[in-house]
């Protein structure tokens, strides 16, 4: 079974530009949600997962790699997921696929995905270094103040934050490590651990 899948971020966005050359597909599926939501947690993504579990899906085509996950690491994990199950994954932009027309591994695409993984990790390290450099410069000028005096983030307050809610959503699935959740949400593993400990302390995890 062949499926063309795409995603737009909200109900107002028009997916038509992504829906060209649709002949030959059994289904054309469109999700309207954030790219940070796991593919298989999305309404149409759940249908795809059902077809995979039933052994019916053989070919999944997407407009661009960020349609299945907004983060590079998340997309790479899904790439491996489909490859391990011998499901052809075709990305139109850039033009890459895990298996060629003869069913053999596409080594060019595999190399490109590996390069994207390295670049993603390098980019994160650069962002972290720039953040630390900015803090050091402000500290040297006596400008970096950190948390305001006489204020303290309680566990209850911490868990009400939007980021904490997203972290707990992933942790409750039981399928992600702290490092993977940190990569998906672009935060530190220390934040994941802190949130996890607070949640256990308050009995919500």
Report pTM.
0.57
Q: Are residues 8 and 107 in the same domain?
A: yes
Q: Are 30 and 11 in contact (CB under 8 A)?
A: no
Q: Is 138 inside any structural domain?
A: no
Q: Is residue 141 part of a domain?
A: no
Going by C-beta distance under 8 Å and a sequence separation of 6 or more, which residues neighbour residue 76?
Answer: 113, 116, 117
Flag whether 193 is in a domain: yes
Select from 112, 135, 166 the last residue of a domain: 112
Establish if 140 belongs to a structural domain: no
Confidence of residue 88 (pLDDT cuts 50, 70, 90): very high
The verdict on residue 146 lying in a domain is: no
Q: How many CB atoms lie within 10 A of CB 8?
A: 18
**Lowest pLDDT segment from 71-80, 84-93, 132-141:** 132-141
| 15-28 per-position pLDDT tens digit | 777 777 888 999 99
Clarify whether residues 66 and 10 are in a common domain: yes
Q: Would you say residue 77 lies in a domain?
A: yes
Task: Supply 52's token pair.
Answer: 């995979």
Shared domain for 83 and 182, answered yes or no, is no
Average pLDDT of the chain to the nearest whole number:
83
Is the C-alpha dihedral spanning 195, 187, 37, 113 positive or negative? Answer: negative
Say whether both 46 and 106 belong to one domain. yes
Domain boundary among 112, 129, 163: 112
Residues 105 and 159 in one domain: no
Q: Using CA atoms, how far apart are residues 144 and 137, in angstroms rounded to an integer?
A: 8
- Residue-wise pLDDT for 4-17, tens only, equals 998 887 666 767 77
Beta bridge partners of 2: 59
Q: In this structure, is residue 117 part of a structural domain?
A: no
Residue 128 lies in a domain: no
- The Cα–Cα gap between 75 and 92 comes to 14
CATH number of the domain within which 33 lies: 3.40.50.1390
Residue numbers of the domain that contains 53: 2-112
> In terms of domains, do 80 and 20 share one?
yes
Number of independent structural domains in the chain = 2
**Distance, first Cα to last Cα, the chain:** 39
* Domain identity same for 195 and 94: no
């Amino acid at each position: 079974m062949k499926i063309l899948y795409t995603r737009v971020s909200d109900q107002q966005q028009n997916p038509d530009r992504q829906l060209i050359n649709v002949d030959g597909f059994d289904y054309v599926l469109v999700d309207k949600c954030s790219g940070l939501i796991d593919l298989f947690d999305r309404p149409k993504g759940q249908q795809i997962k059902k077809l995979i579990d039933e052994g019916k899906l053989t070919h999944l085509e997407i407009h661009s790699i960020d349609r299945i996950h907004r983060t590079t690491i998340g997309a790479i994990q899904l790439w491996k997921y489909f490859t391990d199950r011998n499901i052809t994954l075709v990305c139109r932009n850039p033009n890459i696929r895990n298996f060629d027309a003869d069913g053999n591994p596409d080594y060019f695409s595999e190399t490109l995905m590996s390069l994207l993984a390295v670049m993603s990790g390098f980019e994160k390290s650069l962002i972290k270094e720039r953040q630390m450099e900015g803090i050091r410069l402000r500290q040297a000028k006596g400008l970096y103040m950190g948390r305001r005096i006489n204020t303290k983030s309680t566990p209850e307050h911490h868990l009400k934050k939007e980021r904490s809610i997203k972290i707990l959503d992933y942790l409750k699935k039981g399928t992600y490590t702290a490092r993977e959740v940190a990569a998906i949400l672009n935060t530190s593993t220390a934040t994941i651990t802190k949130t996890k400990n607070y949640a256990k302390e308050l009995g919500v995890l």
